[in-house]
Structure 1
Amino acid sequence: MKKLQLFYILSFIVTISAKAQDTLQTKKNPFTEARFHYYLKTILFFNEYLDTESGSFNTTQLRFLHPIANKAWNLRVDLPLISTNTSSVNKTGIGDIGVGISYIPYLDHSKGIAFRARIISNSASDPALGTGKWVFAPAVFYGAYIREKKLLWIASLENQMSFAGSNNRNDINTTSFENYFMYIIGKNWIAADVAFRYNATNKGYPNNAFIEFGRKITSNNMGYIHPSFAFGNHKSYNYGIEVGILILF
């Protein structure tokens, strides 16, 4: 189960995504080659509902992850379908499609380091369903087990910065520091997450937090649900709920 949780967190969050296999490779310098084969082919399907001051947004997203190279690398594709329900806009269509690469240079049975880079395209079928910008988002992650490997902690630092797109839309420049804690109970887990963000464009702090409840359904499938809420000035929503299924194959 501890291998499953490490996979889930680094992949999702989140964030971010890895599952440590039992094939250990002995290297004098762990940064010259991955010490484990981490990744499996993965499908993550989730639905997220967000309540905002002007209405609601619902995102149904398919995320596909595929191992590449020596399986220490991971290709990620995000395909979102977004519905809006506001006083001025009621639309459904494709949102901004994202592509990312993740790499875990070091991982042992108690701690690990990961890096990720994403490009979020200006590909929404309607301006109301996307940012109108091309966004580059690099991130770094550190994870460690504590309390006799019953509690997993993942910390991440990510910056999202726009580099092209519509001149009529606001530039994107947001830095986030996120901490995720997961407590493992047999085939179940309960987790808490808080993300502190600074939006340099509007000088705001669109922070959020959530509690997550998850369960290993079969040997290769997991399900989870997490309610969330936002806090801080210029927050992007009020409250939300997300339900997802993770399939490994």
Structure 2
Amino acid sequence: MNRIYVFLVLLLLFHKVLIAQESDTLKKVFDAPKYNFFNRTILVFNEYLDTDSGSYNTTDIRLLLPVGNKAWNLRLDAPIVSTNSSDNNKTGLGDLAVSIAYIPVLNDHNGLCVRAKVVGNTATNSAFGSGKWTFIPTLFYGHFFDDAKKWLLISLLEYQVSFAGDANRNDINTTLFENALYFNFSKNWIATDVAFRYNATIEGFQNNAYLEFGRKLSKFNWVYIHPSVGFGKDRSYDIGIEVGILAFF
């Protein structure tokens, strides 16, 4: 589970409309929890996952840069991974990732975003990465339920497929459907999320869900925490917790 990804912006607009809109209007549309498309952003988060065979801790540094007229967004991820089990305690670089997202559609209540992501086989240890080069196309849809833009639904459909890498490692062939509901109030937000993930390689579901609590400390610094749980017979982890801070510059 990684937003998440997951991602960081999900409401969008027709390209020429984007150019024509005033910045105040755009700010109102995108002033949503944890999603900011128009500012240069550094996100640092730490995610701890507990599994049947041990634990994994990932500290990720993510850089987001708007491109051109800001209808495009470039993202870079550099994870540091630690494993902890009865016979393996190591720390090192995980799989680096780069992605680019584009906004084709956005209005006051609905938006659409597409993203192409490549994850490299760059981990310094086989335990820190998949051993594969992976291509991940994603389609995002966002909807504000109210004019005050307090209730936000984010849905995404994603496909993960490996195209190169270690022949001794399992191929990646996973489809993800995820829905997150955000409630934004004052300087805070609360979110709930459910992700259904089908792994065709093992022919099983590796689902998860989380709750999230966030606060805007200032205009330029936001923090959040979310506990999560994996569910399903083939889940990849049991319980987890993530904390992060966003800095806009």
Contact kept in structure 1, 2:10 and 2:141, CA below 8 Å: no
Unmatched tracts of structure 1, length 5 or more: 1-11
**Within 1, Cα distance between the matches of 2:164 and 2:137?**
16
* Cα root mean square deviation, aligned: 1.7
The aligned counterpart of 1:223 is 223
**1:248 matches 2:239:** no
The equivalences for 1:146-225 within 5 A come to: 146-148=145-147, 149-225=149-225
More displaced stretch, 82-91 vs 155-164: 82-91
Instruction: Tell me how far 1:14 sits from its aligned partner.
Output: 2.4
The aligned counterpart of 1:117 is 116
- SS at the partner of 1:13? helix
Contact kept in structure 2, 1:39 and 1:73, CA below 8 Å: no
Match 1:14 to one of 5, 12, 21: 5
Contact kept in structure 2, 1:17 and 1:39, CA below 8 Å: no
Instruction: Tell me how far 1:150 sits from its aligned partner.
Output: 1.9
The aligned counterpart of 1:51 is 50
- SS at the partner of 2:5? coil
The aligned counterpart of 1:144 is 143
The aligned counterpart of 1:71 is 70
Contact kept in structure 1, 2:112 and 2:139, CA below 8 Å: yes
**Within 2, Cα distance between the matches of 1:198 and 1:17?**
22
Instruction: Tell me how far 1:70 sits from its aligned partner.
Output: 1.5
Contact kept in structure 2, 1:89 and 1:128, CA below 8 Å: no
**Within 2, Cα distance between the matches of 1:173 and 1:18?**
24
Name the count of aligned residue pairs.
230
**Within 1, Cα distance between the matches of 2:241 and 2:235?**
16
Instruction: Tell me how far 1:16 sits from its aligned partner.
Output: 1.9
Instruction: Tell me how far 1:105 sits from its aligned partner.
Output: 1.3
Instruction: Tell me how far 1:19 sits from its aligned partner.
Output: 9.2
State the identity %. Answer: 53
- SS at the partner of 1:118? strand
**For the structure 1 residues 19 and 43, does the alpha-carbon distance in structure 2 shift closer, same or farther, using more than 3 Å as the test?**
farther
Unmatched tracts of structure 2, length 5 or more: 27-36
Q: Which runs of 4+ in 1 moved over 6 A?
A: none
> What code does the residue aligned with 2:87 have?
S
Contact kept in structure 2, 1:33 and 1:105, CA below 8 Å: no
Contact kept in structure 2, 1:157 and 1:176, CA below 8 Å: yes
The aligned counterpart of 1:4 is none
> What code does the residue aligned with 2:6 have?
T
